[in-house]
Structure 1
């Protein structure tokens, strides 16, 4: 089963645009989980343009109580750059998973994966420290097989595929999406042979998910912007359910 982790950054962005606590991040996270999502994702950037440091711990407390009361296992996924700042935050908040993502100063959103020929040495240090705290690690990658051959040496538990190229091709036509999907299939099959788990995220939606959810070994998709955009049309709970249906999790 493919798990859906909903990225709530956009809720925080809307709240921060006005100040105060509207919309309420915790209340809407609860609605997301009540609709059936399997996890919550945040990307607390250094400039706090959406998720603030306080949000990280408020969500941790909320999810701990939610799991206890519902007797469920809702996962908390934190995304961020390999840096002392993010490492300290992860070790204090203790999410279930930390997803390391390369960050370019001034970028609007993450738009590329790691180049392990130059990033591997630094990544190994952060991955080891995070894993030593009992936290699963995923790293943001593209589908280049030569690059993926270096993944095993980093010690990461999972790879999260950057799915922007697939989603943008699918926007043009499903046929173009299918042609790009082939590179993800080959990459996924290689990672499976290396016993590396597979996550995915970036611009996945209810149109392109039915195909992408067929990816060999896919365990989790992390989705924020497009789900929240769709929620403006049909409501938050309905959007989550539609995305779950698109992954094949709900019929």
Structure 2
């Protein structure tokens, strides 16, 4: 089963645009999980333009108390840049997974993965600290095979493939999307069997997941912007269900 972790940054963006607590982040987290999602993802940026530091801990408390029938584990994934600020926040919050993402000042959203050949050594102290705390570590990467050779040496548990280029290709045409997917397939195959888990995220949706869900070794997708955008049309529950269906296509 491929797990769906829903990034709720956009709900916080809408709330912050007006002030107050509408929409309520915890209420939407409950709706997301009630519709069948397996986890919650947040990216608390330093400027707090969407997720605030207080949200990180409010969500942690909410997820600890959330009653899931069948005792299914709800996972909490926190994304962010390798920095002392982020390190302290994650260690205090104690999520199930931390996804380290390269952040460029002023960027609108994450748009590239780590160059592990040049940045791997600087990531090491953060990975070691998170592992010591019992937190699974994932690294945001692209499909370059030479770069992926360095994944094992970082001692990260997983990678998360940046799927922006794939989504853009698929938007152009499904055939171009399928050609782009082949790059991800080869990249994933280079990691399968090496004890490295595979996640993916960025602009995946209920259409392009019909192809991407077949990625070898794929364990989790983290999706926010397009899922919430689709929810504006059909509602959050139906949006979640459409994504879950796309992740589990009929044979």
Q: TM-score, normalised by structure 1?
A: 0.98
Q: Does 1:175 pair with 2:175? A: yes
Using the alignment, how far apart are the partners of 1:249 and 1:64 within structure 2? 31
**RMSD over aligned Cα, in angstroms?**
1.3
Q: CA deviation at 1:118?
A: 1.3
Unaligned ranges ≥5, structure 2: none
Given that 2:188 and 2:216 are in contact with CA atoms closer than 8 Å, whether structure 1 keeps it comes out as yes
Per-residue deviation, residues 147-172 of structure 1 (Å, max 9, x unmatched): 00011000000000000000000000
Per-residue deviation, residues 103-135 of structure 1 (Å, max 9, x unmatched): 000000000000012110011111010010000
Given that 2:210 and 2:249 are in contact with CA atoms closer than 8 Å, whether structure 1 keeps it comes out as no
Given that 2:160 and 2:199 are in contact with CA atoms closer than 8 Å, whether structure 1 keeps it comes out as yes
Aligned to 2:140: 140
Using the alignment, how far apart are the partners of 1:151 and 1:45 within structure 2? 25
Aligned to 2:19: 19
Q: TM-score, normalised by structure 2?
A: 0.98
Q: CA deviation at 1:64?
A: 0.2
Distance 1:250 1:18, change over 3 A: farther
Aligned to 1:244: 244
User: Map of 1:83-232 to 2, 5 A cutoff?
Assistant: 83-232=83-232
Q: CA deviation at 1:195?
A: 1.8
Using the alignment, how far apart are the partners of 2:6 and 2:68 within structure 1? 20
Using the alignment, how far apart are the partners of 2:68 and 2:242 within structure 1? 27
Distance 1:58 1:187, change over 3 A: same
Aligned to 1:71: 71
Per-residue deviation, residues 69-111 of structure 1 (Å, max 9, x unmatched): 8732100000000000000000000000000000000000000
Unaligned ranges ≥5, structure 1: none
Using the alignment, how far apart are the partners of 2:250 and 2:25 within structure 1? 25
SS in 1 for 2:126: helix
Structure 1 residue runs of 4 or more that deviate by more than 2 Å after TM superposition: 67-72
Distance 1:248 1:77, change over 3 A: same
Aligned to 1:51: 51
Distance 1:176 1:250, change over 3 A: closer
